[in-house]
Structure 1
Amino acid sequence: MKVVKLLHNPGAGDEEHSKEELMSTLRANGFECRYSSTKKKNIGKDIETDIDMLVVAGGDGTVRDVVGDLLDRKMLEKNWPIGLLPLGTANNIAKTLGIEGETQDIIRSWQGAKVKKYDVGRLYDVPESKFFLESFGYGVFPYLMQEMKKTGKEKIDVPEMKIKAALELLHDIILSYEAKRCMLEIDGVDHSGNFLLAEIMNTRSIGPNLFLAPQADPGDGHLEVILVPEHDRKKLAAYVQHKINGIEEDYDFHSITGKNIRISWHGTHVHVDDEVVKLKESSEIKIELKQSLLEFLVP
């Protein structure tokens, strides 16, 4: 019997995703289960050495919190496979990995699951942020995050309503946002220009499930750099409008792959996954891909 450590965000999901229900379901599927709440600080220190795998129950932010504690623990001492139960609003990490469906079905699938290596973006010169799992970027997205907080819309607790509110706000921002100068070097090649957004992505989607990098594979040893210049403003706005209307349409954004990136932006705000960080004006940030630091169980 495999021993799993359930790392659970008690504020995610509904009554079916309570501590008791999740532990009961894990045991019913043949796992010995131990528990820790992700609300506890330094959760990585609670993981016993005889654990066979980790189960992370929550959204993208919960996954980031857990991984942050593991990396602080120098997780290379033991690399536990992670079974992900997506209980958040966007679940961009889970969607990229193809992990969707009912909790019971996901848990049952682990008996014959494959292990998927997952790269991590290492950040240098970003205060209090050393890595990203989803994306790092400038432009309309950090501005959207600030506006969601300012308008109180980030407190909407119905996932579908929250995503729609974010899309509607993003559409308005795209139409009025002034393109900014971006100094960008990817693997030694200059790609500088004026952009509405510059996103260094590890997942296929970011924010309110916008698939800006549908070709992204977080285990392929590359990051996807997505750039939207001024002449693509209407194209980006139309893509978001289609999402608002419930139409899923492929969008071919300008994408460049790379492993080592230097970037600065004529502005002060950037987002690291789902957090906004304030930098000094036009600070240069170095990004380095760290391959295969994590392992996820995938269908």
Structure 2
Amino acid sequence: MPIRSPLDSRRALLVHNRNAGTDPTPRERIEAALHAVGLRTTYCAHLEDDLDAALQGDFDMVVAAGGDGTLADVASSLCDVERPIGVLPLGGSNNIAHALGVEGDWRDIPAHWSLSRWRPLDRCEADGPWGRRPFIEAVGTGVLTQSVDYVDDDPETAEEKRANGRAAFRQALAEAAPFPCRIDGADWSWEGDCLMVEVLSIPFVGPRLRLAHGADPGDGLLDVMIVEPGDREALRDWVKDPEAAPCPLPPRRASMVRLGVHDRCFRLDDRSPDDRLSGIVTIRIRPQPVRILVHDKAGTT
């Protein structure tokens, strides 16, 4: 007698970015993999259909099939946080999935899902001149934000895309000019000239750079990485092979951060709210994390 899948007859909202990655995966292949484990699916095309309306539907779980942007939008917009999210990492960097231990061939992942095995993922928000914006990965200004101007935008593989991004980061780091900044955590402050500030909720950012080596995606804390002018060469050397050793710069941690700059470009995850902004940005963890399905010992029951 065949073994019944723990997802048999469960209802899933499939949120799919049809353009994710360097070789996009068709809807039909994803739906076939989900139906094979017993899921009944409703389809939502990310960035095309109304995500907020789709998330109000009647379902047991959400499947985020795409890159970091798709997962971030699903996690940030989900109101009923007890509905878990299954991740199919189809993007170029997949920083959030990588931070949560969701890896491997996406076709093998659904067979390992159980609605009782999950780990929390913090959701964050940033109040600034743009108003209030949600994010999952990081808020930053400086080198990483500027490096997009140097990226070769036509890679053939995910590995090539990450390599291009890292090369662009090293070039931007070599040319970056210091700027003044003030940062306040709950029990610490820093003020001076820097090349980059990244306030992270997960370890990875950009082209899968593990800037915050010990960051936990669900611990309710932010990791603040400050790159001063004297850190330039050490960071450039590290980015040559960032998997070989931890980032040489230590993070500062806080549950809420206030970041003050003048006439700077900001980035929230991989999106920029405006060209150049001045003022105070307040960054915090939102009250309720979402549940990300896992298939290892990191799960919570």
Instruction: Provide TM-score, normalisation by structure 1.
Output: 0.88
Question: Whole-Å Cα distance in 2 between the matches of residues 41 and 16 of structure 1?
Answer: 18
CA contact (8 A) 1:263 1:285 kept: yes
Aligned residues with identical type, % of pairs: 28
CA contact (8 A) 2:125 2:286 kept: yes
Q: Paired residue for 1:12?
A: 20
Moved over 4 A (4+): 13-16
Aligned length: 287
Question: Whole-Å Cα distance in 2 between the matches of residues 9 and 108 of structure 1?
Answer: 21
For residue 113 of structure 2, the aligned residue among 85, 110, 133 is: 110
- Deviation digits for residues 151-174 of structure 1, max 9, x if unmatched? xx2343532222212211211211
Question: Whole-Å Cα distance in 2 between the matches of residues 145 and 232 of structure 1?
Answer: 21
Question: Whole-Å Cα distance in 1 between the matches of residues 23 and 217 of structure 2?
Answer: 32
Matching of residue 283 in structure 1 with residue 295 in structure 2: no
- Shift of the 253–89 alpha-carbon distance from structure 1 to 2, 3 Å rule, reads same
Matching of residue 261 in structure 1 with residue 264 in structure 2: no
Tell me by how many angstroms 1:291 deviates.
3.7
Question: Whole-Å Cα distance in 2 between the matches of residues 155 and 269 of structure 1?
Answer: 24
Alignment of 1:93-104 (within 5 A): 93-104=96-107
Q: Paired residue for 1:30?
A: 38
Tell me by how many angstroms 1:269 deviates.
0.2
- Deviation digits for residues 196-253 of structure 1, max 9, x if unmatched? 111100111100111001211111111111111111111000011234xxx6322232
CA contact (8 A) 1:145 1:276 kept: no
Matching of residue 86 in structure 1 with residue 89 in structure 2: yes
- Shift of the 34–272 alpha-carbon distance from structure 1 to 2, 3 Å rule, reads same
**Structure 1 unaligned regions, length at least 5:** none
- Shift of the 42–128 alpha-carbon distance from structure 1 to 2, 3 Å rule, reads farther
For residue 59 of structure 2, the aligned residue among 24, 34, 51 is: 51
What letter corresponds to residue 67 of structure 1 in structure 2?
Answer: A
What letter corresponds to residue 55 of structure 1 in structure 2?
Answer: V
Corresponding residue SS for 1:170: helix
What letter corresponds to residue 56 of structure 1 in structure 2?
Answer: A
**Structure 2 unaligned regions, length at least 5:** 1-8, 296-301
Q: Paired residue for 2:69?
A: 61
RMSD (Å) for aligned C-alpha atoms: 2.1
What letter corresponds to residue 241 of structure 2 in structure 1?
Answer: H
CA contact (8 A) 2:265 2:274 kept: yes
Tell me by how many angstroms 1:277 deviates.
3.1
Tell me by how many angstroms 1:138 deviates.
1.1
Matching of residue 248 in structure 1 with residue 244 in structure 2: yes
Corresponding residue SS for 2:279: coil
Structure with a larger share of its residues in helix: 1
Instruction: Provide TM-score, normalisation by structure 2.
Output: 0.88
Tell me by how many angstroms 1:189 deviates.
2.5
Question: Whole-Å Cα distance in 1 between the matches of residues 140 and 131 of structure 2?
Answer: 16
- Shift of the 281–50 alpha-carbon distance from structure 1 to 2, 3 Å rule, reads closer
Tell me by how many angstroms 1:67 deviates.
3.5
- Deviation digits for residues 172-197 of structure 1, max 9, x if unmatched? 21112112111111115311222111
What letter corresponds to residue 173 of structure 2 in structure 1?
Answer: I
Question: Whole-Å Cα distance in 1 between the matches of residues 21 and 142 of structure 2?
Answer: 31
Q: Paired residue for 1:297?
A: 293
Q: Paired residue for 2:226?
A: 227
